[in-house]
Amino acid sequence: MGGRSANAKQHRRTMIREITNRLGLGFTTCLGLCLLAAPALRGGVANLRAYPEYLRVDPFGQIVPEDRAAIGTQAAGAHQGQGRRSISLLGARGGYVSFHLVAELSGDEGYSLELRLAPENSGIQTDVYREWFHSIQNAKGYYPDALIPIQLPYSSRLPEPDNRISGQKAQAFWIDLWIPPSATPGLYHGRAVLNAGRNRATLPIELKVLPADVPERDVVTVDHNSYGSSWLGDQYPGLAEELPDFYSSDAFFHLIQAYHRIFYEHRGVFHQLGYGHAGKVGPEFAPALAGAGRNRHIANWDLYDRHYGPLFDGSAFAGTRRGARPIPFVYLPINPEWPASFVNWGEPGYEAEFVNVVSEMERHFREKQWTQTRFEMFFNHKKRYMGFPWDGDEVRFPKDNQYFVEYARLLKKALPPDTPVKFVFRADVSWDMEQQFRELQGMVKMWISSGGILSWYQGAARMLQERGDLVWYYSGPPGVNEASATISKFPFQAWLWGVDGFVHWLAVDPGQDPWFRLVDGTTTVVYPGDRFGREEPIPSIRLKIQRNCLQDLALLDSLRNRHPLEALKSEAAKRYNNSRLENWWNPRPPFADQPAFEWTNTGIGEATSRTSKMLESIRPDAWADVHAYVMQLISEAP
Amino acid sequence: MTFLCLLFVMSGLPRSAAQGVPPPAADLPEQLDEVARVGSVMVDGDLCERIVTQRALTYMFEVDPRDRWAAGDNYDVDDAPFIEVKKTLLRLSHLVPFPADVNLWMPIKGRPDKIRIVIRNTHEMSQFWPWGALYQDMIPQMKTVLETGERITVTEKPGWISVLAPVSDSLGDVVGVLEVVTQTQSDAHANVK
């Protein structure tokens, strides 16, 4: 197919760009390299400092207020609470280690930065990103978050011209060191070098690669949700204006796939819901239909297959470090108005339209061998948006459950009993989850639950998993102006709870002006690369910290064959925030015996206050302490 | 129902024809006006009054600083009248060969300065609804429809055409407003959220 060929071409271009960005620099085992503690400074106007990932530095060289709490604690003490003039790192194979590298200058001068690492066949790769400093509404000062991929040597000046911060004295860089599974365990040395006029500073880097391997599979699925695709046109105006048929162009589909890739490379998954609350379906999210009643059928798969084909067969991920693999989950476009028209609801024509089209979909997926992905029938609509008379999302009134029962019946009728295609009925639940767990048993097989209310039902996750269901919980990204480790609490809680995943309900909306007036970042963990000439998203510090947390969780969980899982969880919780496992649950409140439509948000708030209070303030170095525990355990491994 | 079937036969337009066909530039207001005229006859105002529950109306204006979602979380409808009216609205929208929606709006007893949308439809179009609002300030043109029972064409928002038409109950009182709406350039990706 022409589309497939163009796809491959674009993908190659992207890969070449990624590869060049990785610098291709390997660390060398030059054990004789001296770790010089002091840089060659002339006049003290050029400094290079390294900070652990949880200490973010502002454009004036100060640690941001929310991370300063870490200074003086044990973990921060190991880094002296300030930037260090050398850094030693420890990591497992098949994973990343990261740190901030900060160039400090007297200001208003040019500089260049490089990492002088003797090339070697270690396979270890370095990704370097310039940290963008955001001005945040309702907060004082600047915070780094968006990460702009750069190539080294990197030359610029302070103040950084595009970031436009008067009096800027420091530029931070996020350094990712990728240790491939093939890397030889041992010590690797290198150095970063900063040149500014006649001044020069060096920072020695030591990396110890352990023989342990970060498991490929995550123990917690972290999902990044989004709605529709009009936001892509908004966030990539250059591309959208350049292409009159942007929403059906190859560039559009490559952009969508780039979002899947960035989350995949950060050990996450990406969801795009393709329909609205009254049933409008975006053209690329569903095959085109024709006919009505018994004659309703799929007329055209073109846009759907161009959108999803490379995602379902994994080719969209070719060349990534994690390897080509089909996406594990996807929303179906099914809603009360698609594929059957609601005008026929309750009549034989509704069933005919639904069964005809869903059967065709199953056949198409089977013929394409798209059998690795879970295809989710999910109802997102709410009555309050006036499209339909029942809540698909977060049922509060039990009478609405009858619609789930009917759709389960229709889905069952549409699918061959032995289909290898993984259709799954998903429900996002809160108020009425306890009743839904009972009444929809055997129908709904994927539960995305309110974290607050799920915290009352300690045995629920296990009960659901034992009958073969998946259980995730949801919340949203922490603000950029919260402590750096805050994002770790979500996957960590999921692991402690024993649930399968966590959803950031909205992860791609940085607001109208993320660069100079970021609201707070609570609806995004990636940023559009458009401003920097990139037709793809760029990551954030929070996304990187989350990825590193997921690596540690995968490692920690893999140790359950040598340590009791409960002991691992207990020790990790203790190190994280000095908590005990029972502190991560709330008692089921007496009002839970009443119908959910009698509850109030105030009551729910009070009934979840124990965990919410415990988690409202996370130490910036909380995860560093867990990471140290993981490194200690895998270092002890035979 | 028989009358509606007759209309479909007369229009000669199968339901699927309404999907994705760009509206012709010329007589859009006239076509929408005809749908609105038929809608005023077909939509049952008594049924419309039974859609939104008393509970929803009670909470709609409740302000609780400790529970800012109370109004939305208590929004509920009686599904039988909702479905019956929605099906009629959907059928009405199929009278034209281009994407159009027929939305139902209703006033709020005791709050003459406010109005609310009650049923939206497939193309998620409205010239007046700020996305997510449970109620909003009375729209002057709708107030006129409610007071006079006359149909009004509104083209205030560039690219939008809405015809507002009265919905009457069995007493002959105007109890609601239909918004028959289309866009001269439809956006396939708007409101997919």
Are A274 and B120 inside 8 Å of each other by CB?
Answer: no
**CA neighbours closer than 13 Å in the CB half-sphere of residue A446:** 19
pLDDT of residue A441: 98
Question: Mapped to the 3 state alphabet, what secondary structure does chain B carry?
Answer: CHHHHHHHHHHCCCHHHHCCCCCCCCCHHHHHHHHHHHHHHHCCHHHHHCCECHHHHHHHCCCCCCCCCHHHHCCCECHHHHHHHHHHHHHHHCCCCCCCEEEEEEEECCEEEEEEEEECCCCCCCCCCCCCCCCEECCHHHHHHHHHCCCEEECCCCCEEEEEEEEECCCCCEEEEEEEEEECCCCCCCCCC
Kindly state the average pLDDT of the residues B132-154.
98
Predicted confidence (pLDDT) at residue A541 exceeds the cutoff of 80: yes
Q: How many CB atoms lie within 10 A of CB B159?
A: 12
**CA neighbours closer than 13 Å in the CB half-sphere of residue A117:** 30
Share of chain A above pLDDT 70, in %: 90
Give me the residues paired with residue A227 across strands: A273
pLDDT of residue A257: 98
Predicted confidence (pLDDT) at residue A117 exceeds the cutoff of 70: no
Please report whether residue B80 resides in a domain.
yes
Please report whether residue B18 resides in a domain.
no
Give the ipTM of the model, two decimals please.
0.91
B79 shares contact with chain A (CB less than 8 Å): yes
H or E element in which residue A569 lies? helix A565-577
Q: What contacts A527, CB < 8 A, 6 or more positions away?
A: A132, A145, A146, A510, A514, A537, A538, A540
Is residue A295 a contact partner of residue A341, using CB atoms and an 8 Å limit?
Answer: no
Q: First and final CA of chain A: distance in angstroms?
A: 51
Is residue A375 a contact partner of residue A423, using CB atoms and an 8 Å limit?
Answer: yes
More confident residue, A21 or B24: B24
Q: How many CB atoms lie within 10 A of CB B110?
A: 8
Q: What contacts B84, CB < 8 A, 6 or more positions away?
A: B44, B47
Number of H helices, E strands in chain A: 18, 22
- Listed residue (A192, A185, A157, A168) closest to A51, CA to CA: A192
- Listed residue (B27, B26, B21) closest to B188, CA to CA: B21
Share of chain B above pLDDT 90, in %: 79
Band of residue B162 on the pLDDT scale cut at 50, 70, 90: very high
> Least CB-CB distance to A280: which of B14, B83, B191?
B191
- Report how far residue A521's alpha carbon sits from residue A567's, in angstroms, rounded to the nearest whole number: 35
Q: Are strands B101-108 and B174-183 parallel, antiparallel or unpaired?
A: antiparallel
The whole-angstrom distance between A208's CA and the closest CA on chain B is 47
Predicted confidence (pLDDT) at residue A15 exceeds the cutoff of 50: no
- Cβ-Cβ contacts under 8 Å, B123 against chain A: 280
Which tens digit of pLDDT belongs to each residue from A279-318?
999 999 999 999 999 999 999 999 999 999 999 999 999 9
Please report whether residue B54 resides in a domain.
yes
Predicted confidence (pLDDT) at residue A37 exceeds the cutoff of 60: no
Give me the residues paired with residue A190 across strands: A205
Are B193 and A276 inside 8 Å of each other by CB?
Answer: yes
- Listed residue (A423, A435, A336, A341) closest to A387, CA to CA: A336
Q: Which of B58, B118, B189 to mutate to test the interface with A (most CBs of A within 10 A)?
A: B189
The whole-angstrom distance between B6's CA and the closest CA on chain A is 17
Kindly state the average pLDDT of the residues A374-391.
98
- Report how far residue A71's alpha carbon sits from residue A64's, in angstroms, rounded to the nearest whole number: 11
Are A383 and B75 inside 8 Å of each other by CB?
Answer: yes
pLDDT of residue B3: 36
Average pLDDT, chain B: 89
Token pair of A76 as six digits: 């921060």
Are B79 and A382 inside 8 Å of each other by CB?
Answer: no
* Polymer length in residues for chain A: 638
Token pair of A174 as six digits: 């996020």
Kindly state the average pLDDT of the residues A174-181.
96
Predicted confidence (pLDDT) at residue A93 exceeds the cutoff of 50: yes
Is residue B122 a contact partner of residue A280, using CB atoms and an 8 Å limit?
Answer: yes
Predicted confidence (pLDDT) at residue A352 exceeds the cutoff of 60: yes
The whole-angstrom distance between A76's CA and the closest CA on chain B is 38
Which tens digit of pLDDT belongs to each residue from A183-229?
999 999 999 999 999 999 999 999 999 999 999 999 999 999 999 99
The whole-angstrom distance between A428's CA and the closest CA on chain B is 15
Predicted confidence (pLDDT) at residue A31 exceeds the cutoff of 60: no
Kindly state the average pLDDT of the residues A490-516.
97
| Helix (H/G/I), strand (E/B), else coil: A414 | helix
- Cβ-Cβ contacts under 8 Å, A386 against chain B: 117-120
Average pLDDT, chain A: 91
More confident residue, A389 or B68: A389
pLDDT of residue A10: 39
Are A389 and B75 inside 8 Å of each other by CB?
Answer: no
Predicted confidence (pLDDT) at residue A138 exceeds the cutoff of 90: no
The whole-angstrom distance between A601's CA and the closest CA on chain B is 6
Count of CB pairs separated by less than 8 Å, A with B:
111
> Least CB-CB distance to A230: which of B76, B132, B189?
B189
Closest chain A residue by Cα to residue B100: A280
Token pair of A342 as six digits: 């609601």
Token pair of A101 as six digits: 């590298």
Q: What is the DSSP letter of A447?
A: E
Kindly state the average pLDDT of the residues B9-35.
63
Domain total in chain A? 1
**Domain CATH code at residue A84:** 2.60.40.10
Q: Which of B57, B116, B192 to mutate to test the interface with A (most CBs of A within 10 A)?
A: B192
The whole-angstrom distance between A397's CA and the closest CA on chain B is 8
Closest chain A residue by Cα to residue B88: A343
- Cβ-Cβ contacts under 8 Å, B68 against chain A: 601
Which tens digit of pLDDT belongs to each residue from A414-471?
999 999 999 999 999 999 999 999 999 999 999 999 999 999 999 999 999 999 999 9
pLDDT of residue A73: 58
The whole-angstrom distance between B67's CA and the closest CA on chain A is 6
**Domain CATH code at residue B157:** 3.30.450
Are B188 and A292 inside 8 Å of each other by CB?
Answer: no
Which amino acid does the sequence have at A435? Q
Predicted confidence (pLDDT) at residue B24 exceeds the cutoff of 80: no
- Report how far residue A104's alpha carbon sits from residue A113's, in angstroms, rounded to the nearest whole number: 11
Please report whether residue A101 resides in a domain.
yes
- Cβ-Cβ contacts under 8 Å, B132 against chain A: 384-385
Phi, psi dihedrals of residue B147, rounded to the nearest 5°: -85, -35
Please report whether residue B53 resides in a domain.
yes
Band of residue A4 on the pLDDT scale cut at 50, 70, 90: very low
Are A341 and B83 inside 8 Å of each other by CB?
Answer: no
Please report whether residue A301 resides in a domain.
no
**CA neighbours closer than 13 Å in the CB half-sphere of residue A365:** 27
Q: Quick one: B30 exposed, middle or buried, by C-beta within 10 A (0-12, 13-18, 19+)?
A: exposed
Is residue A286 a contact partner of residue A292, using CB atoms and an 8 Å limit?
Answer: no
Is residue A222 a contact partner of residue A489, using CB atoms and an 8 Å limit?
Answer: no
Are B82 and A346 inside 8 Å of each other by CB?
Answer: no
pLDDT of residue A38: 35
pLDDT of residue B15: 40
Are B72 and A382 inside 8 Å of each other by CB?
Answer: yes
Cis bond before residue A185 (omega within 30° of 0): no
Band of residue A69 on the pLDDT scale cut at 50, 70, 90: confident
- Cβ-Cβ contacts under 8 Å, A600 against chain B: 67, 70
pLDDT of residue A139: 85
Predicted confidence (pLDDT) at residue A510 exceeds the cutoff of 70: yes
Phi, psi dihedrals of residue A97, rounded to the nearest 5°: -125, 150
**Following DSSP, what letter does each residue of A310-330 receive, concatenated?**
HHHSSGGGTTSTT-----SEE
Band of residue A71 on the pLDDT scale cut at 50, 70, 90: confident
Predicted confidence (pLDDT) at residue A511 exceeds the cutoff of 80: yes
Token pair of A214 as six digits: 């970060």
Band of residue A545 on the pLDDT scale cut at 50, 70, 90: very high
Band of residue B22 on the pLDDT scale cut at 50, 70, 90: low
> Least CB-CB distance to A602: which of B66, B122, B191?
B66
B28 shares contact with chain A (CB less than 8 Å): no
Predicted confidence (pLDDT) at residue B14 exceeds the cutoff of 60: no
B109 shares contact with chain A (CB less than 8 Å): no
Domain total in chain B? 1
Are A282 and B192 inside 8 Å of each other by CB?
Answer: yes
- Cβ-Cβ contacts under 8 Å, A228 against chain B: 189, 191-193
B62 shares contact with chain A (CB less than 8 Å): no
Burial B56-77 (b: 16+ CB within 10 A, else e): bbebbeeeeeebeebbbbbbbb
More confident residue, A39 or A43: A43
> Least CB-CB distance to B90: which of A343, A600, A602?
A343
Burial A204-233 (b: 16+ CB within 10 A, else e): bbbbebbebbbbeebbbbbbbbbbbbbbbb
- Which residue range is the domain that position B68 belongs to? 28-183
pLDDT of residue A162: 97
**What's the pTM?**
0.91
- Which residue range is the domain that position A74 belongs to? 10-211
Token pair of A24 as six digits: 């291709």
- Cβ-Cβ contacts under 8 Å, A229 against chain B: 189, 192
Is residue A282 a contact partner of residue A229, using CB atoms and an 8 Å limit?
Answer: yes
User: Rounded to whole angstroms, what are the CA distances from A328 to A221, A265, A270, A362, B33?
Assistant: 10, 14, 9, 17, 48
Question: Chain centroid to CA A131: how far?
Answer: 18
Are B188 and A247 inside 8 Å of each other by CB?
Answer: yes
The whole-angstrom distance between B16's CA and the closest CA on chain A is 6
Helices (H), A333-454: 348-367, 401-414, 433-439, 451-454
Please name the residues between 132 and 171 in chain B that touch chain A, using a CB distance below 8 Å: 132, 134
Q: How many CB atoms lie within 10 A of CB B44?
A: 18
Q: Quick one: A592 exposed, middle or buried, by C-beta within 10 A (0-12, 13-18, 19+)?
A: middle
Please report whether residue A186 resides in a domain.
yes
Q: How many CB atoms lie within 10 A of CB A606?
A: 15
pLDDT of residue A83: 83
pLDDT of residue A81: 47
Which tens digit of pLDDT belongs to each residue from A459-477?
999 999 999 999 999 999 9
Are A282 and B67 inside 8 Å of each other by CB?
Answer: no
> Least CB-CB distance to B79: which of A337, A390, A602?
A390
Helices (H), A27-143: 65-68, 74-78
Q: Which of A226, A229, A252, A280 to mutate to test the interface with B (most CBs of B within 10 A)?
A: A280
